[in-house]
Structure 1
Amino acid sequence: MNAERAEILSKVPALTLGFWVIKILATTLGETGGDALSMTYDFGYLASSAIFVVPLILLVIAQIRAQRFHPFLYWATIIASTTAGTTMADFATRSIGIGYPGGSLLLFGAVLACLLAWHRTLGTVDVNSVASPPAEGFYWLTITFSQTLGTALGDWVADSGPGYLGGAVIFGAALTVIAALYFRSRVSHVALFWSAFILTRPLGATVGDFLDKPIAKGGLDFSRPLASLVLAAAIVALVVLLPQRPGEHPASKA
């Protein structure tokens, strides 16, 4: 690969099966990790959000300043966004009191607004084009809102009747449909990516809640800190063992 082509490589991972496996584990970790700080250690939703937002901002800055794709930096930023998203969503839906439907609709609007502003500014929301500071800024803002949306949406569905395990089945089924459309239809792959990316978050949220919520509430009552450590170790192992390469910028295909 020559230097000119290397300059336009995306700074986010290629969309492989390994990417989606790690993403789901990261969103599950975000749920157990966020709940561990806010509930198990009783920091509360607002203080926990403030604590998680600081490393998120620092990691996003580091990601934008990096000259190339760094797997551990990328996944650390994803985990920071999903833990912050967990506590921010819980603060909005429970402490402020707008409820799961209100929080989900508000955050869904925020995600759509980010995508619209991104598209109008740069002409595309294709993640493979994330190779410049403006694109990265829109990318991480959209991701943070989507991670926050996922928590509210997962809680809304689970508390509406299906429970945590039932909610996980529903979101898993929806992702299966998206995967089928990706491989067997002409539906925009960019639209399908963002649909899948958003839906992996409530899947992780419901799985995380199923693991750590009390048995009386439909969970398995696992230790949140222990579950978080196990999930973190699994993510580190997969990042090391699975091939990690940047996505190919559309301009490099010309």
Structure 2
Amino acid sequence: MSSVPLAAGAYNRVPQPTPSFWVIKLLAVTVGETAADFLALNLGLGLQLTSLLMTGILAIAIVLQFMQKRYVPFYYWFAVVLVSVVGTLLTDNLVDNLGVPLQTTAIVTAILLAITFALWYAAEKTLSIHTIITTRREVFYWIAILLTFALGTAVGDLVAEKFDVGYLNTGLLFALIIGVIAFGYFVLKIDAVLSFWLAYILTRPLGASFGDLLSQPMEYGGLGLGTVVTSFIFLAAIVVIVVYMSFTGRGGELVSRQSEA
């Protein structure tokens, strides 16, 4: 149950985890990985300037998202793409600029995410995304989302690069783990909230691994498409799906008094 009463006519501010949600989320994390590399390396902005620029744009996107008071596909997914970029840059800054090992980065971000979930649950008695109907819940939600992207980046890089598993094998590994989680949810009926957040964290290294596979040069284990082409392909796909969502109105829902928190 929730500590916040559900008002009649309240709208959920984030989308429901439908198949289209997971497709666009994978596309968004891929764009986050390749766009961060494109801005920092290809355009020569550098890691610090890119981080400041994208954090500023993200702040604007989050303000616009909070102003909606309901799920609006354009504003929500615009924020998610930017969170993906900033989450990637957060991990890159810790590793490349501050010299923090990937293992430490993964552990620290995991602890911060656990603390966020603990504070969220203590305040709201739920971690469900089905009733994000207050500003406080939405604040916890976006902090958690940012940390899942940072954690996923660290874990993905750790497996693909530090452990030298390779981009393709890393992507397949995380796809398998997500498949196991899906089996647990649909067949074994494990907790829906736990299943969602585990899958959300792991789709980050899954999408990033395939993004690196497409964009990185062949000598580094990629297919050599480059960050520009890869980012454009996935960003275009995101735009198409968001336009579809906007016109059909799918993905969000009105929350009733009987909705599960």
- The two structures have a TM-score, normalised by structure 1, of 0.94
The counterpart of 1:69, out of the listed 59, 65, 71, is 71
Question: Does residue 31 in structure 1 map to residue 38 in structure 2?
Answer: no
State the partner residue of 2:98.
96
State the partner residue of 1:81.
83
Q: Is the 8 A contact 1:93 1:102 kept in 2?
A: no
Q: How many residues are paired up?
A: 250
Q: Using the TM superposition, give the Cα deviation of residue 248 of structure 1 relative to its aligned residue in structure 2, in angstroms.
A: 5.6
The counterpart of 1:154, out of the listed 146, 153, 156, is 156
Runs of at least 5 residues in structure 2 that lack an aligned partner in the other structure: 1-6
Q: Using the TM superposition, give the Cα deviation of residue 207 of structure 1 relative to its aligned residue in structure 2, in angstroms.
A: 1.1
SS at match of 1:219: coil
Distance across 2 between alignment mates of 1:105 and 1:115? 15
Q: Is the 8 A contact 2:131 2:259 kept in 1?
A: no
Distance across 2 between alignment mates of 1:110 and 1:11? 24
State the partner residue of 2:244.
241
Alignment of 1:68-217 (within 5 A): 68-159=70-161, 160-217=163-220
Q: Is the 8 A contact 1:129 1:250 kept in 2?
A: no
Residues 152-187 of structure 1: CA distance to partner in whole angstroms, max 9, x if unpaired?
111001011210111000111111111111111231
SS at match of 2:58: helix
Q: Which deviates the most, 100-109 or 61-70?
A: 61-70
State the partner residue of 2:48.
46
Q: Using the TM superposition, give the Cα deviation of residue 129 of structure 1 relative to its aligned residue in structure 2, in angstroms.
A: 1.7
Q: Is the 8 A contact 1:35 1:86 kept in 2?
A: no
Distance across 2 between alignment mates of 1:132 and 1:62? 15
* Letter of the 1:195 counterpart: L
Q: Using the TM superposition, give the Cα deviation of residue 64 of structure 1 relative to its aligned residue in structure 2, in angstroms.
A: 1.4
Distance across 2 between alignment mates of 1:63 and 1:203? 26
Q: Is the 8 A contact 2:14 2:129 kept in 1?
A: yes
Q: Which deviates the most, 98-107 or 38-47?
A: 38-47
Q: Using the TM superposition, give the Cα deviation of residue 95 of structure 1 relative to its aligned residue in structure 2, in angstroms.
A: 1.7
Q: Which deviates the most, 158-167 or 39-48?
A: 39-48
Q: Is the 8 A contact 1:10 1:247 kept in 2?
A: yes
Percent of aligned pairs sharing the same letter: 32
SS at match of 2:70: coil
Q: Is the 8 A contact 1:46 1:88 kept in 2?
A: no
Q: Using the TM superposition, give the Cα deviation of residue 250 of structure 1 relative to its aligned residue in structure 2, in angstroms.
A: 7.0
SS at match of 2:189: coil
* Letter of the 2:221 counterpart: G
Distance across 1 between alignment mates of 2:256 and 2:211? 36
The counterpart of 1:253, out of the listed 244, 255, 259, is 259
RMSD: 1.5
Runs of at least 5 residues in structure 1 that lack an aligned partner in the other structure: none
Distance across 1 between alignment mates of 2:254 and 2:109? 30
Residues 54-75 of structure 1: CA distance to partner in whole angstroms, max 9, x if unpaired?
1111111221121321011100
Distance across 1 between alignment mates of 2:143 and 2:259? 27
Residues 195-247 of structure 1: CA distance to partner in whole angstroms, max 9, x if unpaired?
00010111111111111111111011212122111111101111223552315
Query: Higher helix share goes to which structure?
Result: 1
Q: Is the 8 A contact 2:8 2:256 kept in 1?
A: no
Q: Using the TM superposition, give the Cα deviation of residue 106 of structure 1 relative to its aligned residue in structure 2, in angstroms.
A: 0.8
Q: Using the TM superposition, give the Cα deviation of residue 42 of structure 1 relative to its aligned residue in structure 2, in angstroms.
A: 2.1
Distance across 2 between alignment mates of 1:87 and 1:28? 13
